[in-house]
Amino acid sequence: MRPSRALVLGLAAGLAGCAALLPRAEFATQETWKDYDSAAAAIDRIVPLESRRADLTAAGIDPHTNAAVAILSFSDVVQRFAVGAAIKQEELDEGVRRCLTAGKACTGYAVNIRRTSRKRIGNFWLDSFNFHRETDVTGWTFNALILFVDDTVVYTLHGGQPRVHEKEVTRNPLGPFQGWGQQVTPNPFD
């Protein structure tokens, strides 16, 4: 066997199942907390009617320094609670009622964190030629709502998904030719 042929065969055999060559992607909101439990613990440390906005800033819950924290105006807060026909105001938590009756003095923080990693797994060649593509998605999500009247916290609530683990599988029997029909045929509406 000639050396060039042996090199090509050796290279092909070496790359046949080489998942290290497949792409990876990570999505992470830059925030103070590294996992779901630490984010939940930070919100749990907030004491309604005692904690102040300055206390939250000292704890890293500050929209000016933490990209995961958004400022809510009074109208944003009102939209989050369907007061009226669906829910009567007296059915709401005391802190929410205080906030809604305070008018413009009612503001809030919305915390939204998503940390996920997408890793392509499987056969390099099948993935590269678009015959079979598997993606493993792992991570966590967290969200919280903090309401203030003036600078005093009156309500907190948090939730999310402590563990995300999904698998996406795409099979294209025609491989790289699968989407050519849409690319070749012009769209009459463009």
Q: Report the percentage of the chain scoring pLDDT > 90.
A: 46
Instruction: Name the more confident of 167 and 127.
Output: 167
Q: Do the domain assignments include residue 188? A: no
pLDDT value, residue 39: 93
Q: Which residues constitute the domain of residue 37?
A: 22-162
Q: Is 5 inside a domain boundary? A: no
Using one digit for the tens of pLDDT, what is the confidence trace for 12-32?
Answer: 555 555 656 666 666 656 667
The answer to whether residue 56 is domain-embedded is yes
In this structure, is residue 174 part of a structural domain?
A: no
Tell me whether residue 72 is in a domain: yes
Using one digit for the tens of pLDDT, what is the confidence trace for 27-70?
Answer: 656 667 889 999 999 999 999 999 999 999 999 999 999 999 99
pLDDT at 171: 85
Number of domains the chain contains: 1
Residue 183 located in a structural domain = no
Length of the chain: 190
Is 154 inside any structural domain?
yes
Split at pLDDT 50, 70, 90, the class of 183 is low
Residue 128 falls within a domain, yes or no?
yes
